[in-house]
Chains A and B, each alone.
Chain A
Amino acid sequence: MVEKILFIVFAAFAVAGALGVITRSNIVHGLILLVFTFINVAGIFLLTQAHFLAVIQVLVYAGAILVLFAFVVMFLNLREFQQEEQFHRGQKWAVIVLAPIMLAEIIFVVTAVTWASVNDGFSPEAIAAQGGNVKVLGEQLFTKMLLPFEVASLILLVGMVGAILLAAKEDRESVCLREWDDDDGVTPSLVEREV
């Protein structure tokens, strides 16, 4: 009973937050609502006894990734930004086509896949008996799911290297860096440096 009420509260907040994200013209308000949405989704994970997933949701999405969003967003000139109606005018038509397809997919998954076919013998009680969420998930990741796990980490590494490469590409030849002159520790001096 309590869980049902909590689920309705979390779900309603998550949907309301997500709606807010796409309707706010102020991009920082959108960002705050996105954090709020992610935290509520984490709440729903908690209700399904997926503690580890809930914490990772907050740690990775609400924490790490959106902090970087916040950095980028804070450098934008909001007034200029809000006057622009829409960046990609074709987007509207794409949405009309893609949204029903997405909805159909979700309906298909929800109706076709039953709980028994995906849970593979893992009920919350069985997981608790085997030593908790973190342990069971870790064992699965490092035995059954080892290849996808390693592939995912490789893709992330490639993404990281790519990002650094893109950022460094423009001024590879010689870069003027403002560095602290460590002799007196006070005056900043321009130092030529090869990158």
Chain B
Amino acid sequence: MTDFIFLLIKAILWVAVGVGMVPFIIYFERKFAGFFQSRMGPTYAGPWGVLQSFGDMAKLLSKEDLIPDWADKPVFRLAPYILFVPAFIVMALIPFGPMGVEIFGYTVDLVIADFDAGVLLFLALGTVAVYGIVFAGWASNNHWSLLGSLRSGAQMVSYEISMGLALVGLIILSGSLSFVDIVDGQAGNFWNWYFIPQIVGFVIFYVASIAELNRAPFDLAEAEQELVAGHMTEYTGMRWGLFMFGEYVNMVVVSAVMATLFFGGWRAPFEALDFIPGFIWLVGKVLFFVFMYMWIRWTLPRYRYNQLMDIGWKIFLPLAIANLAVTALIVSVN
């Protein structure tokens, strides 16, 4: 029974942190966008505009919920949820502290589920999340939406391959598919983290994750100059808000996965800093990667569609395979 209560507490804690971060990440995204473009960003709601996201949320909730007459209504309603439910499942796999910690006399593992095929499950749920955008575009029954969803479907399917292959090198190094084992394999100081031997894999994974998240410079699905807003064109009010919410939750989760796989997860960069709880290190690393996403988004222009496909198939796929071959060779020689 106590196990179940602890499980519930961990789940609520993780979801609360993941969701609670979103309004602030949106606020910072807008502030940074302003900073990168020499303007102020939001300033009116609250001190320095920190309450902007909450104001937006109130606005979206109070708006009329329009569903076009020509839309496929059940699918139209379902689509936004498909986008962020898989993200929450991935959260359950990410360890945020050591196993078997003593808390108030109870022994607790600081992970919700130590799943022995965790990395694969993360990739599998990524493929399921594609349906959110694909079905949203189809159900809207609108040219731009359908084009956007086709683009995003093709893009995500293409980049998933490089993403998966980029992780295989890391899996060979760690010898496990479980997130907990992978973090344990990176114990010690920061030079034991996997991003050093797997720098190629990390770069491929990072860029592919931008494509998976549909963010600039790979945001061709919503390319506002050509497709209005792609799959989101017909969505209004809080349904549109759910898409935005899903994008940011996915960003947090992919950042957490990246921190866990390549940057030691909850581990401190130096063993001497272990007195700071692992949870804080993990959140710090997540925020760093989220900031990197923003930096890239507001710095680089959008790629053309054929360039995007070229990068995915002609550069990243061979590079990922080469990385896999070299890693396998070195590991088998050692």
Q: A interface vs B, CB < 8 Å?
A: 26, 28-29, 32, 35, 39, 51-52, 55-56, 58-59, 62-64, 67-68, 70-71, 74, 132-134, 180
Contacts and interface: CB of A to CB of B under 8 A. Distances in A.
Nearest to A65: B127
B121 A55 contact: yes
Interface of B: 72, 74-75, 78, 115-117, 120-121, 123-128, 130-131, 134-135, 138, 146, 149-150, 153-154, 157, 177-178, 304, 306
Contacts of B72: 26, 28
B177 A70 contact: no
Contacts of A32: 75, 78, 131, 135
A132 B120 CA distance: 14
Given A28-B75, A55-B117, A70-B134, A64 B157 contact: yes
Contact of A55 (B124, B154, B157): B124
A32 B138 CA distance: 12
14 contacts: A26-B72, A55-B120, A55-B124, A58-B124, A58-B125, A59-B123, A59-B127, A62-B124, A63-B124, A64-B127, A70-B153, A71-B153, A71-B154, A180-B304
Nearest to A63: B127
Given A51-B115, A134-B116, A70 B131 contact: yes
B116 A59 contact: no
A115 B75 CA distance: 41
Q: Which 6 A-B pairs have the closest CB atoms?
A: A63-B127, A59-B124, A132-B116, A58-B124, A55-B120, A55-B117
Contacts of A70: 131, 134-135, 138, 153
Nearest to B129: A63
Given A28-B75, A67-B127, 6 more contacts: A26-B72, A28-B135, A29-B75, A52-B117, A67-B157, A74-B149
A109 to B, nearest CB: 27
A180 B78 CA distance: 38
Contacts, number: 74
A58 B116 CA distance: 15
A180 B306 CA distance: 9
A77 to B, nearest CB: 12
Contacts of A28: 72, 75, 135, 138
Contacts of A58: 121, 124-125, 127-128
Please report whether the interface of chain A is mostly helix, strand, loop or mixed according to DSSP: helix
A185 to B, nearest CB: 8
A56 B149 CA distance: 25
Contacts of A67: 127, 130-131, 134, 153, 157
Nearest to B156: A67
Nearest to A53: B117
Nearest to A185: B304
Given A29-B74, A70-B131, A52 B157 contact: no
Contact of B150 (A59, A63, A71, A133): A71
Nearest to A26: B72
A67 B157 CA distance: 8
Nearest to A42: B124
B117 A63 contact: no
Contacts of B116: 51-52, 132-134
Contacts of B75: 28-29, 32
Given A55-B120, A55-B121, A74-B138, A63 B115 contact: no
A140 to B, nearest CB: 16
B51 to A, nearest CB: 38
B78 A59 contact: no
A59 to B, nearest CB: 4
Contacts of B124: 55-56, 58-59, 62-63
A29 B131 CA distance: 12
A147 B154 CA distance: 34
